[in-house]
Structure 1
Amino acid sequence: MLAGFAVMLASAASAQTAQDAAKAFGMREDVQQVSISPDGTQLALVRAIAGAGSAVFVFDLVAGSRLSTVLSATGRPDQISSCNWSTPKRLICNISTLMMSNGMRLRFSRVVSLNSDGSDLKQLSGETRDSVYGPAQFGGGVIDLLGDDGAGGSVLMTRVHGTQSQTGTLLAATVAGLGVERVDTTTLRRQAVERPNGHADQYITDGHGTVRIMGVASAADSGMLIGKTTYFYRKPGDRSWLPLSVVTSNGAGVATGFDPWAVDRDLNVAYGFDAQGDRSALFKVSLDGSLKRELVLDNPNVDVDGIVRIGRQRRVVGASFATDRRQVVIFDPTLKAIAASLSKALPKQPIVTIVDATADEQKLVLFAGSDVDPGHFYLFDRTARKLSPILPARPDLEGKTLSPVKAITFKAADGTMIPAYLTLPSGGADKGLPAIVLPHGGPGSRDEWGFDWLSQFFASRGYAVLQPNFRGSTGYGSNWFQKNGFQSWRVAIGDVNDAGRYLLSSDIAAPGKVAIFGWSYGGYAALQSAVLDPDLFKAIVAVAPVTDLETLRTEHNDFVDYRLVDAFIGHGEHVRSGSPAQNADRIKAPVLLFHGDLDQNVAVGESRLMESKLRAAGKQVQFVEYKGLTHQLDDSDVRTDMLGKSDTFLRATLGMKD
């Protein structure tokens, strides 16, 4: 039945022309999330709809009925981020929107619940109105599905309690801050579990309904965060808070101290990450009062940076790290055997992730993909040992030949070997090609082996694409991270430029036909690369780029993270020399800019500034501003337009034939 369901909904696209390719790769992921009901009878799918929209669809696995739409959002600006099951018939969904508050455009989030047929829609987020500042920006989140309750239908949620400033009223709040409530997802009956704490910013449960860890973020007298979080824990059956750990940032973005992520009730330990040498490793710390610490998993070359969880109790069953490819280590013996059998059943889809599970964990929703497969969702019945397809993540690319991604290294100017991923056009030449260096965003991020819609689009259009994990990337330890990609911009951008030089020296790229394309920090890197070496790249495409470090700093003036951003950017000569907009006169290559006017990560003013500086310097620049969109340009039509315009610009600038 599921196989027929997948065939019915899949729509293959042959991207033979430039327009077809831009449309096929510009389409957002059709299936963005899949969750299964506790009893295994229904699936809920968050799927992309026209333009920027998204919708929640429900499929009855027993009746085999067609998908029914139960909730939708336009994406401009309201969005559905996720949906999970509270009972076999009731869903919990996270929604967000942009609103003006005190003269600023802010993102507001709320949690809602509804029946699987779309009826009885209710807001789970408690009323959090603050008499001074108006409605609370964040509506809390579900931290425990209370899976032990079976079909009870209650969850544990965080709630931000606002402060009432009026005097002489019985309605005035006596306590403000973050608390925890038990909320019935149907009746909305609320019961306090943790009283509001004005200093708390995080709670972690044991997955069985008991709050075991609280995080307290330190702030200056002004209310600005200072990059220090103190964690407290409770012994079993004890309500007293005891000190667990302190996590601090050095200002450049490197954190130290045990950072707890999960609690295992049966082992009575907290799992979390901390430094092991200059790498991050997974540890477990006993919560019995001894704080006995044990190394669970480390790797001498890269950070261990992920944990694997399963079930409605979200128990920890493994961890992961990324070398050339992401590797998963499963601790649970039964699941380890299942993972081995799945790798044999899906040999061409080595990236396998457990997405969701029924209450008894006998039915698992899986995602599997590879570098040449955008991924498919599957339902695995452990009892029947049956694997059934649900839907492809990107049906528009079904049947299309994609390009293999190869992990390589190249030598930087100082002799350091830089890891990178090379994607060549499939079935064609591997020398003398037009080429693109594609630096990742962040800078606190890294590229990994797998499907990437941007690199695959450009490879389909005949470009060689190189994605360097330059110094300043995360995942390779604190020494590799340097002082981050802004304060250490000369090292980071030097590595990016050396990626371009490698393409030329290895003869992969034809002389004079190397361009650079970047998004967010990658856009910054694309522009700043030409400041460092104006003659290397012959064309520059920057999407939502940082262009002026001082401007980026001031964008956070009215937010509690100002001191963190200020320290991350730093002060000194690098702020001016490391800002493309302040050095526009050095850029020789034509520039194409894209930006959404509702971007809250990097304000659209940065691209407007860059355009004006380039024009004033007599440089070639085009700027495309998309109305009503945020940082990710999360709109299929807009992404199609962006890819098409980028390809046209690059081909014209590099002198390529279509």
Structure 2
Amino acid sequence: MRLMTSLAAIAAAVFAMPAAAQSLAEDAAAFGARRSVEDISISPSGDKILYVQPGSQADETIYVVDLVDGGAPTPIITMNEAKARLSWCQWATDDRIVCEVFGMADTNGMLLGFTRIFSISADGSDTEMLSPSTSHKTMGVLQNGGEVLALESEGAPGKILMTKRYIKERCAKTRLCNDKEGLGVDAVDIESGSARTVEDAALRAVTYIADENGRVRIMLASDTVASGYDGSDYRYLYRRKGSSKWYPLSSVDAGGPLTVGFQPLAIDSAKDVVYGLDHKNGHTALFAFALDGSDTMTEVLALDGVDVDGVAQIGRQRRVVGVSYATEKAYTRYFDPELDALASAFAKALPGTPQITIADASADENELILIASSDTDPGKAYLFEKDTRSLTELLSLRVPLEGRAMGAMKPISFPAADGTQIPGYLTLPPGSDGKNLPAIVMPHGGPGSRDVWGFDWLVQFFAARGYAVLQPNYRGSAGFGSDWFGKNGFQQWDAAISDVNDGARWLIAQGIANPAKLAGVGWSYGGYATLQSQVVDPTLFKAVVAIAPVTDLNLLKEENRRYTSYTAHDRMIGSGPHVEAGSPARHAARFQAPVLLVHGSMDQNTTIAQSKLMEDRLTAAGKKVDFLKFDGLDHYLLHSQARGIMLKRIGEFLETSLGD
């Protein structure tokens, strides 16, 4: 029998705060706090778990728990880098953990993202850098520190399979330098950091895919245009079992609004197929491509009205167990009947019929880590043991929000001006009758993404403060097929913004929103959409909040000119009258509502120059504008204290602007 300490109780003690907090400051701190558990993994034997817990600022701590002996979680390392964070951590063996760090750096005036892979012993006594090192001879910047393709290199525990970026070195007066260039694959010892070459550097290689047994079977290669920018044509190559020869698999064209061609995702070596995405009748579908040399393509799942978005994988071998997609809610259709039955049984047994995600599994898949969450439940992590059929609660994912009433997220649709039904979600304040409320229209970012049913900390903050929140999946959103996506939300901004504004008008027409207390709030493209809504209809929203927004489309292109991805941005924005017409910073004189801008100084996605330009133009036009800046933070503002400050400031801004 396992001796389980109540981890949830321990975590609750760390994050404890009054459940009945009602003040703006208390709500801002509670909802702004990052998830109490950002990542969780179980060891190969199933005897230990690790989880990553953020602190109040940029700090993150890795905890290890012995599930057999019990006892309190043991902190083994704390990261305190202001401009770097843990992307993920996972057990590589029972004694050692592998983690990825992501960060931003200002290099000669350019913001560059970087990753590094390191390993750490289970007791925290020893760490080892697994990413390759550079020197003064290196003729370039190593941004990508490697991608972990498999946690075991061809069945060799303790050696992981990683990509390696080769950068040429200056070789004057010496032969002791690297003259290779491109991307290769190494088998890396997680204790010593020593590496053995598995795949030599390939100049055009972008990434590789390995099977469950740690064998490299697929390579993605790209074309680079003469200017040095990334091209739009890609080729996938594959290997047959037991062969080292590369064979053509598919060609992919990324030059249009949507990528065209079969895109491999994951290999099932038992079936000798690779699952991947391609288009069918205007929607993304899942196919299986045979790797036996027959080149047979078989349809696995195609849906009407929505796209398939990927495959579900579990465990250290990343075994493919199902296919994922979203209609009004996100779903996983399991290939594995046992997992399908388990997920259904868990959803029925747990309170509120939550959605179930299998987050990790032991090597034999007897122990499963499950995440159960819903629109009104931030989520909990559970341990399920198949042999004993026992289910044990481990951790709450958002301890500061435990015991709080949340607003239900209801799927709705509303008519656009041309009669098209626009899908979205409406969240009302807990206990509200849904009439004559202060309201917020909150378009999602992207624009190549979509909102989906589930817990959203930003939405629930506004609901807790008494606002109705509408999240429209405007035309230009991903997930609904190529016709819905169109040319994207920038080149067809007029359709997207019209849908956003029509959502606001629907709230008024339904009697849900008080038209005098209607605001637009958005992040990234969503921030752009709320600003551009002022250009289209200056009287509709009485206040606008834009977090990390795009404000000038040509500036978005130009500030990426120094990066190899410039051509992708150029294609996304396009050229023509829509660039000037669709740039809110160029139409500041039309604004009537007060504006609050929020931006981090290390944002590479949409640089802080975008918000500075908007502030300058609004100020010059004599408009009301406020600007909240966060030094050292990137696009996502992953900092609990900063998010709390932001929410409090937004709350005060809306109360003042809307007259609450």
Which residue number corresponds to residue 411 of structure 1? Answer: 415
Which residue number corresponds to residue 164 of structure 1? Answer: 169
Cα deviations by residue, 1:249-289 (Å, 9 ceiling, x for unpaired):
2333x111000001111101010000011100000010111
Q: What are the within-5 Å matches in structure 2 for residues 163-312 of structure 1?
A: 163-252=168-257, 254-312=258-316
* d(CA) in 1 for partners of 2:575, 2:116: 38
Which residue number corresponds to residue 544 of structure 2? Answer: 540
Cα deviations by residue, 1:587-619 (Å, 9 ceiling, x for unpaired):
111111111111111111111110110011111
Please report how far the alpha carbon of residue 222 of structure 1 lies from its aligned counterpart in structure 2 after TM superposition.
2.1
* 1:54–1:75 contact (8 Å) kept in structure 2: no
Cα deviations by residue, 1:310-352 (Å, 9 ceiling, x for unpaired):
1211111101111111121000122222222222222524211
Which residue number corresponds to residue 24 of structure 2? Answer: 18
* d(CA) in 2 for partners of 1:328, 1:99: 37
State yes or no: 1:60 paired with 2:66: yes
Q: What are the within-5 Å matches in structure 2 for residues 118-517 of structure 1?
A: 118-129=124-135, 131-146=137-152, 149=155, 152-252=157-257, 254-517=258-521
* 2:155–2:214 contact (8 Å) kept in structure 1: no
- SS of 2:520's partner is strand
State yes or no: 1:72 paired with 2:74: no
1:456–1:2 CA distance, 2 compared to 1 (3 A): farther
* d(CA) in 2 for partners of 1:100, 1:528: 30
TM-score by length of 2: 0.97
Cα deviations by residue, 1:35-78 (Å, 9 ceiling, x for unpaired):
01111111111111121221111111122122222222225112
Please report how far the alpha carbon of residue 172 of structure 1 lies from its aligned counterpart in structure 2 after TM superposition.
3.4
Please report how far the alpha carbon of residue 168 of structure 1 lies from its aligned counterpart in structure 2 after TM superposition.
4.4
Please report how far the alpha carbon of residue 536 of structure 1 lies from its aligned counterpart in structure 2 after TM superposition.
0.6
Please report how far the alpha carbon of residue 109 of structure 1 lies from its aligned counterpart in structure 2 after TM superposition.
1.5
* d(CA) in 2 for partners of 1:198, 1:617: 51
Which residue number corresponds to residue 92 of structure 2? Answer: 86
Please report how far the alpha carbon of residue 169 of structure 1 lies from its aligned counterpart in structure 2 after TM superposition.
2.3
Cα deviations by residue, 1:150-195 (Å, 9 ceiling, x for unpaired):
7x21110100011123244212334211000111111223111101
TM-score by length of 1: 0.97
Please report how far the alpha carbon of residue 290 of structure 1 lies from its aligned counterpart in structure 2 after TM superposition.
1.5
Which blocks of at least 5 consecutive residues in structure 1 are unaligned?
Answer: none
Comparing 237-246 with 334-343, which one deviates more in the overlay? Answer: 334-343
Comparing 398-407 with 131-140, which one deviates more in the overlay? Answer: 131-140
Please report how far the alpha carbon of residue 147 of structure 1 lies from its aligned counterpart in structure 2 after TM superposition.
8.0
Which residue number corresponds to residue 654 of structure 2? Answer: 650
State yes or no: 1:113 paired with 2:158: no
* 2:211–2:268 contact (8 Å) kept in structure 1: yes
* d(CA) in 2 for partners of 1:90, 1:300: 45
* d(CA) in 2 for partners of 1:47, 1:342: 25
Comparing 626-635 with 607-616, which one deviates more in the overlay? Answer: 626-635
Q: 1:609 aligns with which of 607, 613, 632?
A: 613
* 1:2–1:389 contact (8 Å) kept in structure 2: no
Q: 1:28 aligns with which of 30, 34, 57?
A: 34
* d(CA) in 2 for partners of 1:160, 1:134: 11
* d(CA) in 2 for partners of 1:175, 1:134: 13
Q: Which residue identity is paired with 1:654? A: L
Cα deviations by residue, 1:193-228 (Å, 9 ceiling, x for unpaired):
101101101100111011100000111022211222
- SS of 1:255's partner is coil
* d(CA) in 2 for partners of 1:73, 1:107: 18
State yes or no: 1:9 paired with 2:11: yes
* d(CA) in 2 for partners of 1:71, 1:553: 40
* 1:147–1:359 contact (8 Å) kept in structure 2: no
- SS of 2:508's partner is helix
Q: Which residue identity is paired with 2:572? A: F
The percentage of counterpart residues that share the same residue type is 47
* 1:487–1:569 contact (8 Å) kept in structure 2: yes
* 1:441–1:520 contact (8 Å) kept in structure 2: yes
* d(CA) in 1 for partners of 2:382, 2:153: 23
* d(CA) in 2 for partners of 1:451, 1:396: 14
Please report how far the alpha carbon of residue 481 of structure 1 lies from its aligned counterpart in structure 2 after TM superposition.
0.5
Q: Which residue identity is paired with 1:76? A: A
* 1:251–1:564 contact (8 Å) kept in structure 2: no
- SS of 1:87's partner is coil
Q: 1:583 aligns with which of 580, 587, 600?
A: 587
- SS of 2:286's partner is strand
Cα deviations by residue, 1:347-366 (Å, 9 ceiling, x for unpaired):
52421111111111100111
* d(CA) in 1 for partners of 2:654, 2:158: 54
* d(CA) in 2 for partners of 1:375, 1:562: 39
Q: Which residue identity is paired with 1:175? A: K
Q: Which residue identity is paired with 1:115? A: S
Comparing 127-136 with 301-310, which one deviates more in the overlay? Answer: 127-136
* 1:130–1:163 contact (8 Å) kept in structure 2: no
Q: Which residue identity is paired with 1:55? A: T
Please report how far the alpha carbon of residue 6 of structure 1 lies from its aligned counterpart in structure 2 after TM superposition.
1.2
Cα deviations by residue, 1:348-398 (Å, 9 ceiling, x for unpaired):
242111111111110011111000000111111111111111111100000
Cα deviations by residue, 1:507-539 (Å, 9 ceiling, x for unpaired):
101132111000110000010001011111111
* 1:219–1:226 contact (8 Å) kept in structure 2: yes
1:60–1:148 CA distance, 2 compared to 1 (3 A): farther
Comparing 213-222 with 98-107, which one deviates more in the overlay? Answer: 98-107
- SS of 2:177's partner is coil
* 2:436–2:513 contact (8 Å) kept in structure 1: yes
* d(CA) in 2 for partners of 1:265, 1:514: 54
- SS of 1:485's partner is coil
* 2:478–2:485 contact (8 Å) kept in structure 1: yes
* 2:277–2:310 contact (8 Å) kept in structure 1: no
* 1:147–1:313 contact (8 Å) kept in structure 2: no
* d(CA) in 1 for partners of 2:580, 2:549: 16
Please report how far the alpha carbon of residue 133 of structure 1 lies from its aligned counterpart in structure 2 after TM superposition.
3.3
- SS of 1:563's partner is helix
* d(CA) in 2 for partners of 1:520, 1:426: 28
Count residues with an aligned counterpart. 654
Comparing 127-136 with 613-622, which one deviates more in the overlay? Answer: 127-136
Please report how far the alpha carbon of residue 138 of structure 1 lies from its aligned counterpart in structure 2 after TM superposition.
1.5
